[in-house]
Protein backbone atom coordinates (compact mmCIF):
# COMPACT_ATOMS: atom_id res chain seq x y z
CA UNK A 1 0.00 0.00 0.00
CA UNK A 2 1.36 3.44 -0.86
CA UNK A 3 2.12 5.80 2.05
CA UNK A 4 -0.68 8.10 0.90
CA UNK A 5 -3.31 5.33 0.82
CA UNK A 6 -2.07 4.10 4.15
CA UNK A 7 -2.59 7.46 5.81
CA UNK A 8 -6.06 7.78 4.18
CA UNK A 9 -6.91 4.44 5.70
CA UNK A 10 -5.55 5.51 9.10
CA UNK A 11 -7.69 8.64 9.00
CA UNK A 12 -10.80 6.66 8.01
CA UNK A 13 -10.30 4.17 10.81
CA UNK A 14 -9.60 6.88 13.36
CA UNK A 15 -12.85 8.59 12.33
CA UNK A 16 -14.65 5.27 12.77
CA UNK A 17 -13.11 4.84 16.22
CA UNK A 18 -14.11 8.33 17.32
CA UNK A 19 -17.60 7.85 15.89
CA UNK A 20 -17.96 4.57 17.76
CA UNK A 21 -16.91 6.08 21.09
CA UNK A 22 -19.36 8.91 20.45
CA UNK A 23 -22.22 6.47 19.85
CA UNK A 24 -21.51 4.64 23.12
CA UNK A 25 -21.26 7.91 25.03
CA UNK A 26 -24.42 9.28 23.46
CA UNK A 27 -26.40 6.13 24.24
CA UNK A 28 -24.95 5.90 27.75
CA UNK A 29 -27.81 6.23 30.20
CA UNK A 30 -25.54 6.16 33.27
CA UNK A 31 -24.35 2.67 34.19
CA UNK A 32 -26.10 1.08 31.24
CA UNK A 33 -26.40 1.80 27.54
CA UNK A 34 -29.48 2.11 25.32
CA UNK A 35 -29.31 -0.40 22.48
CA UNK A 36 -30.07 2.55 20.21
CA UNK A 37 -31.24 6.08 20.95
CA UNK A 38 -34.83 5.95 19.70
CA UNK A 39 -35.84 2.50 18.45
CA UNK A 40 -34.49 0.57 21.47
CA UNK A 41 -34.35 2.91 24.51
CA UNK A 42 -33.81 0.16 27.15
CA UNK A 43 -31.10 -2.34 28.07
CA UNK A 44 -31.12 -5.51 25.97
CA UNK A 45 -29.29 -8.59 27.15
CA UNK A 46 -27.00 -9.61 24.32
CA UNK A 47 -26.62 -5.99 23.23
CA UNK A 48 -25.33 -5.20 26.73
CA UNK A 49 -22.68 -7.91 26.45
CA UNK A 50 -21.39 -6.63 23.10
CA UNK A 51 -21.60 -3.08 24.41
CA UNK A 52 -19.46 -4.07 27.40
CA UNK A 53 -16.80 -5.32 24.96
CA UNK A 54 -16.85 -1.88 23.34
CA UNK A 55 -16.64 -0.08 26.69
CA UNK A 56 -13.66 -2.27 27.66
CA UNK A 57 -11.59 -0.24 25.19
CA UNK A 58 -12.82 3.10 26.50
CA UNK A 59 -13.65 2.68 30.18
CA UNK A 60 -13.29 -0.79 31.80
CA UNK A 61 -15.21 0.25 34.91
CA UNK A 62 -18.12 1.23 32.70
CA UNK A 63 -17.82 -2.09 30.84
CA UNK A 64 -18.25 -4.06 34.06
CA UNK A 65 -21.07 -1.83 35.26
CA UNK A 66 -23.01 -2.63 32.09
CA UNK A 67 -23.08 -6.32 32.93
CA UNK A 68 -23.46 -5.82 36.68
CA UNK A 69 -26.65 -3.87 36.01
CA UNK A 70 -27.96 -6.48 33.59
CA UNK A 71 -27.16 -9.46 35.82
CA UNK A 72 -28.74 -7.74 38.83
CA UNK A 73 -32.07 -8.20 37.02
CA UNK A 74 -31.59 -11.97 36.80
CA UNK A 75 -34.61 -14.16 37.56
CA UNK A 76 -34.59 -16.69 40.40
CA UNK A 77 -34.40 -19.47 37.82
CA UNK A 78 -31.09 -18.03 36.57
CA UNK A 79 -32.68 -16.54 33.45
CA UNK A 80 -31.16 -13.24 32.34
CA UNK A 81 -34.07 -11.28 30.87
CA UNK A 82 -33.84 -10.09 27.30
CA UNK A 83 -34.88 -6.53 28.22
CA UNK A 84 -34.32 -4.57 31.43
CA UNK A 85 -36.65 -1.59 31.18
CA UNK A 86 -35.57 1.93 32.03
CA UNK A 87 -37.96 3.48 34.53
CA UNK A 88 -37.22 6.97 33.25
CA UNK A 89 -38.23 6.20 29.66
CA UNK A 90 -41.96 6.80 29.18
CA UNK A 91 -44.03 3.64 28.82
CA UNK A 92 -45.06 3.60 25.18
CA UNK A 93 -41.70 4.67 23.73
CA UNK A 94 -41.06 1.00 22.98
CA UNK A 95 -43.57 -1.75 22.45
CA UNK A 96 -44.10 -4.19 24.09
CA UNK A 97 -43.43 -2.16 27.24
CA UNK A 98 -43.13 -3.66 30.71
CA UNK A 99 -46.84 -3.44 31.42
CA UNK A 100 -47.50 -5.70 28.46
CA UNK A 101 -44.87 -8.22 29.60
CA UNK A 102 -46.27 -8.17 33.13
CA UNK A 103 -43.42 -10.45 34.16
CA UNK A 104 -44.13 -10.06 37.88
CA UNK A 105 -46.86 -12.61 37.25
CA UNK A 106 -44.00 -15.04 37.75
CA UNK A 107 -42.82 -15.80 41.29
CA UNK A 108 -39.33 -16.11 39.77
CA UNK A 109 -39.15 -12.55 38.41
CA UNK A 110 -36.81 -10.18 40.25
CA UNK A 111 -38.00 -7.47 42.62
CA UNK A 112 -39.08 -4.38 40.67
CA UNK A 113 -38.02 -1.85 39.63
CA UNK A 114 -36.51 -2.36 37.18
CA UNK A 115 -39.09 -4.34 35.26
CA UNK A 116 -37.96 -6.95 32.79
CA UNK A 117 -39.27 -8.91 29.84
CA UNK A 118 -39.87 -12.63 30.23
CA UNK A 119 -37.56 -14.00 27.51
CA UNK A 120 -33.80 -14.33 27.16
CA UNK A 121 -31.19 -13.92 24.43
CA UNK A 122 -27.92 -15.61 23.41
CA UNK A 123 -25.35 -15.72 26.26
CA UNK A 124 -22.61 -13.40 25.04
CA UNK A 125 -21.98 -12.31 28.66
CA UNK A 126 -19.16 -14.69 29.61
CA UNK A 127 -17.44 -13.91 26.31
CA UNK A 128 -17.70 -10.23 27.16
CA UNK A 129 -16.41 -10.61 30.71
CA UNK A 130 -13.47 -12.65 29.48
CA UNK A 131 -12.77 -10.06 26.79
CA UNK A 132 -12.83 -7.28 29.43
CA UNK A 133 -10.29 -9.29 31.40
CA UNK A 134 -8.07 -9.74 28.32
CA UNK A 135 -8.23 -6.07 27.34
CA UNK A 136 -7.50 -4.82 30.84
CA UNK A 137 -4.72 -7.36 31.47
CA UNK A 138 -2.95 -6.00 28.43
CA UNK A 139 -3.17 -2.45 29.81
CA UNK A 140 -0.85 -1.87 32.74
CA UNK A 141 -2.47 1.47 33.55
CA UNK A 142 -5.82 -0.15 34.49
CA UNK A 143 -6.72 0.36 38.12
CA UNK A 144 -10.08 -1.41 37.99
CA UNK A 145 -10.26 -4.61 40.05
CA UNK A 146 -11.48 -6.76 37.18
CA UNK A 147 -10.67 -10.07 38.82
CA UNK A 148 -12.54 -9.15 42.02
CA UNK A 149 -15.58 -7.99 40.11
CA UNK A 150 -15.55 -11.12 37.95
CA UNK A 151 -15.45 -13.19 41.13
CA UNK A 152 -18.52 -11.35 42.42
CA UNK A 153 -20.40 -11.77 39.12
CA UNK A 154 -19.41 -15.40 38.70
CA UNK A 155 -22.27 -16.98 40.75
CA UNK A 156 -24.84 -15.16 38.62
CA UNK A 157 -23.05 -16.09 35.44
CA UNK A 158 -22.90 -19.73 36.48
CA UNK A 159 -26.62 -19.69 37.40
CA UNK A 160 -27.41 -18.20 33.98
CA UNK A 161 -25.54 -20.94 32.14
CA UNK A 162 -27.05 -23.57 34.41
CA UNK A 163 -30.51 -22.28 33.53
CA UNK A 164 -29.74 -22.61 29.82
CA UNK A 165 -28.19 -26.05 30.20
CA UNK A 166 -31.06 -27.43 32.31
CA UNK A 167 -34.39 -25.55 32.07
CA UNK A 168 -33.80 -24.84 28.38
CA UNK A 169 -32.51 -28.33 27.70
CA UNK A 170 -34.52 -30.66 29.93
CA UNK A 171 -33.80 -33.66 27.69
CA UNK A 172 -30.00 -33.11 27.77
CA UNK A 173 -29.68 -32.77 24.01
CA UNK A 174 -26.82 -30.28 24.28
CA UNK A 175 -29.00 -27.73 22.46
CA UNK A 176 -30.93 -24.74 23.80
CA UNK A 177 -34.70 -24.50 23.25
CA UNK A 178 -36.06 -21.06 22.45
CA UNK A 179 -39.70 -20.14 23.01
CA UNK A 180 -40.00 -16.98 20.97
CA UNK A 181 -38.41 -15.52 17.82
CA UNK A 182 -37.21 -12.60 19.98
CA UNK A 183 -34.85 -15.04 21.69
CA UNK A 184 -33.00 -15.55 18.47
CA UNK A 185 -33.22 -13.64 15.27
CA UNK A 186 -36.71 -12.16 15.25
CA UNK A 187 -38.10 -12.56 11.73
CA UNK A 188 -35.54 -15.02 10.35
CA UNK A 189 -37.12 -17.43 7.83
CA UNK A 190 -35.87 -20.13 10.22
CA UNK A 191 -39.08 -19.57 12.19
CA UNK A 192 -41.56 -19.20 9.31
CA UNK A 193 -43.01 -22.72 9.35
CA UNK A 194 -43.24 -22.84 13.14
CA UNK A 195 -45.01 -19.47 13.24
CA UNK A 196 -47.35 -20.42 10.42
CA UNK A 197 -48.55 -23.40 12.46
CA UNK A 198 -49.61 -21.18 15.37
CA UNK A 199 -53.29 -20.39 15.72
CA UNK A 200 -53.85 -16.97 17.22
CA UNK A 201 -56.54 -16.74 19.91
CA UNK A 202 -57.99 -13.71 21.63
CA UNK A 203 -55.13 -11.22 21.18
CA UNK A 204 -55.54 -7.91 23.05
CA UNK A 205 -55.11 -4.92 20.72
CA UNK A 206 -51.69 -3.24 20.50
CA UNK A 207 -49.87 -0.45 18.69
CA UNK A 208 -46.44 -1.13 17.22
CA UNK A 209 -43.81 1.54 17.82
CA UNK A 210 -40.96 0.09 15.74
CA UNK A 211 -42.52 1.10 12.42
CA UNK A 212 -42.94 4.65 13.70
CA UNK A 213 -39.14 4.84 14.16
CA UNK A 214 -38.10 2.86 11.07
CA UNK A 215 -40.51 4.26 8.56
CA UNK A 216 -39.78 1.85 5.73
CA UNK A 217 -41.85 -1.16 6.83
CA UNK A 218 -39.96 -3.45 4.41
CA UNK A 219 -37.05 -3.32 6.90
CA UNK A 220 -39.13 -4.66 9.81
CA UNK A 221 -41.22 -7.77 10.57
CA UNK A 222 -44.67 -7.99 8.97
CA UNK A 223 -47.95 -7.41 10.82
CA UNK A 224 -48.65 -11.12 10.49
CA UNK A 225 -45.36 -11.97 12.24
CA UNK A 226 -45.96 -9.36 14.91
CA UNK A 227 -49.37 -10.78 15.76
CA UNK A 228 -47.71 -14.12 16.35
CA UNK A 229 -44.96 -12.58 18.48
CA UNK A 230 -47.60 -10.93 20.63
CA UNK A 231 -49.72 -14.05 20.86
CA UNK A 232 -46.72 -16.04 22.10
CA UNK A 233 -46.19 -13.40 24.80
CA UNK A 234 -49.84 -13.80 25.86
CA UNK A 235 -49.35 -17.57 26.16
CA UNK A 236 -46.21 -17.12 28.27
CA UNK A 237 -48.14 -14.82 30.60
CA UNK A 238 -51.04 -17.26 30.86
CA UNK A 239 -48.73 -19.83 32.43
CA UNK A 240 -46.98 -17.15 34.51
CA UNK A 241 -43.71 -17.82 32.70
CA UNK A 242 -43.52 -21.21 34.38
CA UNK A 243 -40.64 -23.16 32.84
CA UNK A 244 -42.16 -26.62 33.02
CA UNK A 245 -45.52 -25.55 31.54
CA UNK A 246 -43.74 -23.71 28.74
CA UNK A 247 -41.52 -26.67 28.01
CA UNK A 248 -44.57 -28.95 27.86
CA UNK A 249 -47.21 -26.87 26.08
CA UNK A 250 -45.83 -23.77 24.40
CA UNK A 251 -46.48 -23.98 20.63
CA UNK A 252 -43.15 -22.43 19.64
CA UNK A 253 -40.22 -24.57 20.86
CA UNK A 254 -37.12 -24.73 18.71
CA UNK A 255 -33.65 -26.06 19.36
CA UNK A 256 -31.80 -22.95 18.19
CA UNK A 257 -28.49 -24.01 16.72
CA UNK A 258 -26.97 -20.53 16.78
CA UNK A 259 -27.92 -19.92 20.42
CA UNK A 260 -26.41 -23.34 21.20
CA UNK A 261 -23.16 -22.52 19.38
CA UNK A 262 -22.90 -19.27 21.34
CA UNK A 263 -23.52 -21.20 24.57
CA UNK A 264 -20.67 -23.59 23.80
CA UNK A 265 -18.33 -20.65 23.17
CA UNK A 266 -19.62 -19.01 26.35
CA UNK A 267 -19.08 -22.14 28.40
CA UNK A 268 -15.44 -22.13 27.33
CA UNK A 269 -15.21 -18.51 28.50
CA UNK A 270 -16.97 -19.43 31.74
CA UNK A 271 -14.44 -22.23 32.28
CA UNK A 272 -11.62 -19.69 31.88
CA UNK A 273 -13.31 -17.32 34.35
CA UNK A 274 -13.87 -20.20 36.79
CA UNK A 275 -10.18 -21.03 36.63
CA UNK A 276 -9.13 -17.40 37.02
CA UNK A 277 -11.16 -16.85 40.16
CA UNK A 278 -10.42 -20.27 41.65
CA UNK A 279 -13.96 -21.71 41.45
CA UNK A 280 -14.63 -25.12 42.99
CA UNK A 281 -13.74 -28.40 41.27
CA UNK A 282 -17.45 -29.27 41.23
CA UNK A 283 -18.27 -26.14 39.26
CA UNK A 284 -15.47 -26.75 36.83
CA UNK A 285 -16.50 -30.36 36.30
CA UNK A 286 -20.08 -29.23 35.68
CA UNK A 287 -18.97 -26.70 33.05
CA UNK A 288 -16.79 -29.35 31.38
CA UNK A 289 -19.77 -31.70 31.25
CA UNK A 290 -21.90 -29.00 29.60
CA UNK A 291 -19.17 -28.46 27.03
CA UNK A 292 -18.98 -32.18 26.23
CA UNK A 293 -22.76 -32.37 25.82
CA UNK A 294 -22.93 -29.28 23.62
CA UNK A 295 -20.24 -30.60 21.31
CA UNK A 296 -22.40 -33.67 20.74
CA UNK A 297 -25.52 -31.52 20.35
CA UNK A 298 -23.99 -29.46 17.55
CA UNK A 299 -22.70 -32.56 15.77
CA UNK A 300 -26.13 -34.22 15.98
CA UNK A 301 -27.55 -31.31 13.96
CA UNK A 302 -24.86 -31.38 11.31
CA UNK A 303 -26.40 -31.58 7.85
CA UNK A 304 -24.02 -32.91 5.17
CA UNK A 305 -26.16 -31.54 2.33
CA UNK A 306 -25.97 -27.92 3.46
CA UNK A 307 -22.57 -28.39 5.14
CA UNK A 308 -24.13 -26.55 8.05
CA UNK A 309 -25.76 -27.27 11.40
CA UNK A 310 -29.55 -26.90 11.43
CA UNK A 311 -32.17 -25.81 13.94
CA UNK A 312 -34.69 -28.40 15.09
CA UNK A 313 -38.40 -27.69 15.54
CA UNK A 314 -39.49 -29.72 18.57
CA UNK A 315 -43.22 -29.33 17.91
CA UNK A 316 -43.00 -30.35 14.24
CA UNK A 317 -40.36 -32.99 15.02
CA UNK A 318 -38.02 -31.97 12.20
CA UNK A 319 -34.89 -30.02 11.36
CA UNK A 320 -35.24 -26.69 9.57
CA UNK A 321 -33.35 -26.99 6.28
CA UNK A 322 -32.38 -23.39 5.52
CA UNK A 323 -29.07 -21.75 4.71
CA UNK A 324 -28.68 -18.88 7.15
CA UNK A 325 -25.93 -17.42 9.35
CA UNK A 326 -27.10 -19.76 12.12
CA UNK A 327 -25.78 -22.77 10.22
CA UNK A 328 -22.28 -21.60 11.14
CA UNK A 329 -22.94 -22.36 14.80
CA UNK A 330 -19.92 -24.66 14.95
CA UNK A 331 -17.67 -21.82 13.76
CA UNK A 332 -19.21 -19.47 16.33
CA UNK A 333 -18.56 -22.11 19.00
CA UNK A 334 -14.87 -21.92 18.07
CA UNK A 335 -14.22 -25.40 19.44
CA UNK A 336 -11.87 -27.50 17.30
CA UNK A 337 -13.35 -30.70 18.74
CA UNK A 338 -16.59 -30.01 16.87
CA UNK A 339 -15.70 -31.51 13.50
CA UNK A 340 -18.56 -29.61 11.84
CA UNK A 341 -16.55 -26.41 12.25
CA UNK A 342 -14.03 -27.35 9.54
CA UNK A 343 -16.73 -28.26 7.02
CA UNK A 344 -18.68 -25.10 7.79
CA UNK A 345 -15.55 -23.00 7.24
CA UNK A 346 -15.33 -24.51 3.76
CA UNK A 347 -18.90 -23.40 3.18
CA UNK A 348 -18.19 -19.82 4.28
CA UNK A 349 -16.78 -18.74 0.92
CA UNK A 350 -19.23 -20.72 -1.21
CA UNK A 351 -21.60 -18.81 -3.52
CA UNK A 352 -24.36 -19.42 -0.95
CA UNK A 353 -22.61 -17.10 1.47
CA UNK A 354 -19.53 -14.86 1.38
CA UNK A 355 -18.59 -16.07 -2.10
CA UNK A 356 -21.83 -14.74 -3.57
CA UNK A 357 -20.68 -12.54 -6.48
CA UNK A 358 -23.12 -9.67 -5.85
CA UNK A 359 -22.19 -8.89 -2.24
CA UNK A 360 -20.90 -5.37 -1.59
CA UNK A 361 -18.66 -6.66 1.20
CA UNK A 362 -17.67 -10.26 1.93
CA UNK A 363 -19.54 -10.34 5.23
CA UNK A 364 -22.30 -12.69 6.38
CA UNK A 365 -25.83 -12.18 5.00
CA UNK A 366 -28.34 -13.23 7.68
CA UNK A 367 -30.01 -15.47 5.08
CA UNK A 368 -28.24 -16.80 2.01
CA UNK A 369 -29.10 -14.65 -1.04
CA UNK A 370 -29.82 -17.90 -2.89
CA UNK A 371 -32.57 -18.97 -0.48
CA UNK A 372 -36.09 -18.27 -1.81
CA UNK A 373 -36.93 -16.65 1.55
CA UNK A 374 -34.10 -14.11 1.19
CA UNK A 375 -35.12 -10.43 1.32
CA UNK A 376 -32.26 -7.99 1.01
CA UNK A 377 -33.66 -5.19 3.22
CA UNK A 378 -35.75 -7.07 5.72
CA UNK A 379 -34.14 -7.35 9.16
CA UNK A 380 -32.99 -10.96 9.77
CA UNK A 381 -34.13 -12.21 6.35
CA UNK A 382 -31.07 -11.07 4.41
CA UNK A 383 -29.23 -8.01 5.72
CA UNK A 384 -25.77 -8.29 7.24
CA UNK A 385 -25.33 -7.78 11.01
CA UNK A 386 -21.89 -6.73 12.30
CA UNK A 387 -22.31 -8.59 15.60
CA UNK A 388 -22.73 -11.84 13.68
CA UNK A 389 -19.50 -11.15 11.79
CA UNK A 390 -17.82 -10.45 15.13
CA UNK A 391 -18.88 -13.85 16.45
CA UNK A 392 -17.68 -15.60 13.29
CA UNK A 393 -14.41 -13.68 13.40
CA UNK A 394 -13.88 -14.64 17.01
CA UNK A 395 -14.69 -18.29 16.27
CA UNK A 396 -12.35 -18.41 13.27
CA UNK A 397 -9.53 -17.04 15.41
CA UNK A 398 -10.21 -19.62 18.11
CA UNK A 399 -10.13 -22.33 15.48
CA UNK A 400 -6.68 -21.15 14.40
CA UNK A 401 -7.97 -19.70 11.10
CA UNK A 402 -6.43 -16.32 11.79
CA UNK A 403 -5.82 -15.36 8.20
CA UNK A 404 -9.47 -16.01 7.26
CA UNK A 405 -10.57 -14.16 10.38
CA UNK A 406 -8.43 -11.18 9.44
CA UNK A 407 -9.99 -10.93 5.97
CA UNK A 408 -13.41 -10.93 7.59
CA UNK A 409 -12.38 -8.23 10.07
CA UNK A 410 -11.11 -6.00 7.25
CA UNK A 411 -14.25 -6.41 5.17
CA UNK A 412 -16.46 -5.78 8.20
CA UNK A 413 -14.55 -2.61 9.04
CA UNK A 414 -14.82 -1.40 5.44
CA UNK A 415 -18.57 -1.91 5.59
CA UNK A 416 -18.81 0.21 8.74
CA UNK A 417 -16.41 2.89 7.49
CA UNK A 418 -18.54 3.34 4.39
CA UNK A 419 -22.02 2.65 5.75
CA UNK A 420 -21.87 3.99 9.32
CA UNK A 421 -22.79 2.41 12.65
CA UNK A 422 -26.19 1.09 11.65
CA UNK A 423 -28.15 -1.81 13.03
CA UNK A 424 -27.89 -3.84 9.80
CA UNK A 425 -26.94 -3.42 6.13
CA UNK A 426 -28.24 -4.27 2.67
CA UNK A 427 -25.84 -6.99 1.46
CA UNK A 428 -25.61 -5.92 -2.23
CA UNK A 429 -25.28 -2.18 -1.77
CA UNK A 430 -23.97 -1.86 1.78
CA UNK A 431 -26.78 0.62 2.53
CA UNK A 432 -27.32 1.26 6.24
CA UNK A 433 -30.70 -0.02 7.43
CA UNK A 434 -32.75 -0.15 10.62
CA UNK A 435 -31.61 2.04 13.45
CA UNK A 436 -28.64 4.36 13.08
CA UNK A 437 -26.21 4.80 16.02
CA UNK A 438 -26.70 1.21 17.14
CA UNK A 439 -24.61 0.66 20.26
CA UNK A 440 -23.51 -2.92 19.63
CA UNK A 441 -22.31 -2.04 16.13
CA UNK A 442 -20.13 0.70 17.63
CA UNK A 443 -18.90 -1.76 20.24
CA UNK A 444 -17.73 -4.44 17.81
CA UNK A 445 -16.13 -1.73 15.67
CA UNK A 446 -14.06 -0.71 18.69
CA UNK A 447 -13.00 -4.27 19.35
CA UNK A 448 -12.02 -4.79 15.70
CA UNK A 449 -10.15 -1.50 15.65
CA UNK A 450 -8.16 -2.55 18.72
CA UNK A 451 -6.71 -5.33 16.52
CA UNK A 452 -5.22 -2.88 14.03
CA UNK A 453 -1.44 -3.26 13.89
CA UNK A 454 0.14 -0.21 15.57
C1 LIG B 1 -36.97 -7.33 20.18
C2 LIG B 1 -32.02 -4.61 20.41
C3 LIG B 1 -32.74 -5.83 19.85
C4 LIG B 1 -31.76 -6.97 19.52
C5 LIG B 1 -32.44 -8.08 18.73
C6 LIG B 1 -33.10 -7.47 17.51
C7 LIG B 1 -34.12 -6.42 17.94
C8 LIG B 1 -36.19 -6.33 19.34
C9 LIG B 1 -37.15 -5.64 18.40
O10 LIG B 1 -33.46 -5.42 18.70
O11 LIG B 1 -35.14 -7.05 18.66
O12 LIG B 1 -36.15 -7.84 21.19
O13 LIG B 1 -37.96 -4.85 18.91
O14 LIG B 1 -37.17 -5.91 17.21
O15 LIG B 1 -33.69 -8.45 16.73
O16 LIG B 1 -31.50 -9.06 18.35
O17 LIG B 1 -31.24 -7.49 20.71
O18 LIG B 1 -30.98 -4.23 19.55
* Per-residue model confidence as pLDDT tens digits over 277-307: 999 999 999 999 999 999 999 999 999 999 9
Protein residue with its CA nearest to atom 14 in ligand 1: 186
Give the helix, strand, coil percentages of the chain, each rounded to 5: 50, 5, 40
Half-sphere exposure at residue 148, Cβ-oriented, CA atoms within 13 angstroms? 4
Asked if 349 and 355 touch (Cβ cutoff 8 Å), the reply is yes
The closest of 378, 421, 26, 428 to 211, measured between CA atoms, is 378
Checking phi first, is residue 183 left (phi over 0); if not, alpha (psi -120 to 50) or beta? alpha
Protein residue with its CA nearest to atom 18 in ligand 1: 35
Asked if 126 and 262 touch (Cβ cutoff 8 Å), the reply is no
Give catalytic status of residue 313 as yes or no: no
Protein residue with its CA nearest to atom 16 in ligand 1: 185
Ligand 1 atom closest to Cα of residue 36: 18
Close Cβ partners of 162 (under 8 Å, ≥ 6 residues apart): 78, 286
Give the pLDDT score at 323: 98
User: Which segments within 283-421 are labelled E, that is strand?
Assistant: 302-303, 308-309, 311-313, 318-320
Give the pLDDT score at 6: 83
Give the pLDDT score at 141: 79
pLDDT > 70 in the chain, percent: 100
User: In Å, how far are 30, 117, 243, 318 from 183, measured between CA atoms?
Assistant: 26, 11, 15, 20
Mutate to test the pocket of ligand 1, among 70, 80, 182 (most ligand atoms within 8 A of CB): 182
Close Cβ partners of 39 (under 8 Å, ≥ 6 residues apart): 94, 210, 213, 214, 423, 434, 435
Cis previous bond, 113, omega within 30: yes
Give the pLDDT score at 320: 98
- Return d(Cα 365, Cα 369) in angstroms, integer: 7
Q: What are the φ and ψ backbone dihedral angles of 385, each rounded to 5 degrees?
A: -125, 115
Give catalytic status of residue 212 as yes or no: no
Q: Residues in the chain with pLDDT < 50?
A: none
Q: Would you say the CB of residue 183 lies under 6 angstroms from ligand 1?
A: no
- Return d(Cα 264, Cα 266) in angstroms, integer: 5
Ligand 1 atom closest to Cα of residue 39: 13
Give the pLDDT score at 88: 94
Asked if 422 and 384 touch (Cβ cutoff 8 Å), the reply is no
- Return d(Cα 26, Cα 437) in angstroms, integer: 9
Amino acid sequence: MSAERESDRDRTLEALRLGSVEVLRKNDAGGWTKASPRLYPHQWSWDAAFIAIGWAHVDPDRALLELERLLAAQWRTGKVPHIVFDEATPVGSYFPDWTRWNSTLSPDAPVTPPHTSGLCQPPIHALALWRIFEVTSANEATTVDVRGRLARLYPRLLAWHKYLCTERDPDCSGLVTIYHPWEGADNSPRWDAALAAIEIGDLPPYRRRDIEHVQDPSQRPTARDYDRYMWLVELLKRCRYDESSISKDHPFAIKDIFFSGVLLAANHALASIAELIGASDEDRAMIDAWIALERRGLMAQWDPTCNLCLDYDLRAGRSIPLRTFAGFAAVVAGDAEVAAAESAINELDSPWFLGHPALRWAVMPSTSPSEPAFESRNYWRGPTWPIIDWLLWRGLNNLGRTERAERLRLQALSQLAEGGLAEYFEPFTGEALGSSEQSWTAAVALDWLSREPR
